[in-house]
Amino acid sequence: MATTTDKAATLKAEAGLQRRLGVWTVVALVVGEVIAVGIFLVPAGMAKSIGSPLWLLVVWIVMGGMALSGALCYGELAARFPEAGGGYVYLREAYGPRLAFLYGWKCLLVMDPGLTAVLAVGLADYVGYMVPLSQAGMRVIAVAAILALAGLNLLGVKVGAGLMRWLTIVKLGSLAFILIWGFGRGLGDWSNFIPLVEQRAGSSPLVLAIAGGMVSAFFAFGGWWEIARITGEVRDPERVMPKALALGVCIVTFVYVMTSAVFLYLIPIERVTTDKAFAAQAGEALFGRAGGDVFSVIVIFSVLGSLAGFIMVAPRAYYAMSRDGVFLKGAAALHPRFGTPVRAIALQAALASLLVLIGTFKEILAYFIFITVAFIALTVAGVFVLRRKGGPDSPFMMPAYPVTPVVFLALVAALLVLLAANNPLQALAGVAVVAAGVPVYHFAFDKRKGGG
């Protein structure tokens, strides 16, 4: 297994990729990928279940703190190994190539193309709300969005980064407009926050409501860990990645808190029925009869930003695997002019488009949520492993170690218990499919890599 602990060797290995991304582009990637349609749907379910404005705020702040703890851990790992690949690289260095391959196997086989398809279909759904489309028409829109964004990312990391910056500006600007328009024009009622602490009638028992809210919030924050895959194209990654990951998560937390606040200001908790109905109610309160169309435009831009970000960062894991010799050799090929991993990008786009056309990917994805969260936990736990191994320190050492990773891992452990208890067969099925990659690794790659 090739080591990456030597910074000079790492930078030399990454010579083919263009280090053009600065701190604000990476922040835009974090914010742009994390904030999608969930910002309009998740607060409704959480508010209805928890039934208390104060406890809703507590859940957002706790889970934002959890995400920040994890981001600082990933920031240290990115500073220690400033190359493309993110979680794949960190698992490889902490635990060896076999486990890293299983992570990549899971990402390539299901999660990356599946999430790409989910975002693209979500985008098409909201286009279909504004312009009547058949199922076939919405699939065409979804595939067209995937192929168009993949094509733009093929033109160079600078093009993809520029697109992400603008999409994130539009997204944050739209959300800021909702806040200013809602609060500034007095379209709601401050009495909706009273009582502040006491749960409303019809709410779930507080402990169960908070547990469910934490699960929902965790997935609302989902995606920040994927941004580490782009580290090989970041200028001064030892400084930029920790700062950008932490800042991005803080911005996302603030946006979630403020958006939830304006929604509660507009619509009393007692009137919340379903998430989509809640979004429609908020849209009507803000913009009258045109609220549904205005909200749909905002959602389209939000989802488009998430889709663009994921298409940009995800293929870097296949690139890193191919460079290590544990994936198709051609996936490490860079475009001679644009310097992008052209075949890795094309592979993700092709698989995602195929899943859109097949149309059963949402059910399949559900089986891999548990194992995906487990891999994130293993990656953060890798901080302990790598510090114990010794060697040169990371250029960035997270604050409050070991409290920072312990806080994250404790909350993730609770989340894994909840996921496994909710659907044990689903969790076991996902683990079994990932474990099926072990013989693939040994028969196809282990001979060349000398074991692991």
List, for residues 175-194, the tens digit of each pLDDT value.
999 999 999 999 999 999 99
Q: CB neighbours of 152 closer than 8 A, spacing ≥ 6?
A: 159, 160, 163, 308
The whole-number pLDDT of residue 327 equals 86
**Lowest pLDDT segment from 52-66, 95-109, 167-181, 281-295:** 281-295
Q: What is the pLDDT of residues 19-41, one digit of tens each?
A: 989 999 999 999 999 998 788 88
Query: In the chain, pLDDT over 90 holds for what percent of residues?
Result: 64
Domains of the chain: 7-449 (1.20.1740.10)
Rounded-to-integer distance, Cα 36 and Cα 305, Å? 8
Q: CB neighbours of 13 closer than 8 A, spacing ≥ 6?
A: 2, 4, 83, 323
Rg (CA), the chain: 22
The whole-number pLDDT of residue 271 equals 83
The whole-number pLDDT of residue 447 equals 57
Backbone phi, psi, residue 21, to 5°: -95, 130
Mean pLDDT of the region 108-118:
90
The whole-number pLDDT of residue 281 equals 81
Chain centre to alpha carbon of residue 32: 9
Q: What is the pLDDT of residues 202-258, one digit of tens each?
A: 889 999 999 999 999 999 999 999 999 999 999 999 999 999 999 999 999 999 999
pLDDT at 451 over 70: no
Query: In the chain, pLDDT over 70 holds for what percent of residues?
Result: 95
The whole-number pLDDT of residue 3 equals 45
No. of helices (H) and no. of strands (E), the chain:
21, 0
Rounded to two decimals, the pTM is 0.91
The whole-number pLDDT of residue 392 equals 62
Mean pLDDT for all residues in the chain: 88
- The DSSP secondary-structure symbol of 331 reads G
Q: What is the pLDDT of residues 298-324, one digit of tens each?
A: 888 899 999 999 999 999 999 999 999
Rounded-to-integer distance, Cα 248 and Cα 242, Å? 10
**Lowest pLDDT segment from 24-28, 289-293, 356-360:** 289-293
Rounded-to-integer distance, Cα 154 and Cα 443, Å? 32
Chain centre to alpha carbon of residue 335: 26
Rounded-to-integer distance, Cα 308 and Cα 349, Å? 11
259 within 8 A of 286, measured Cβ to Cβ: no
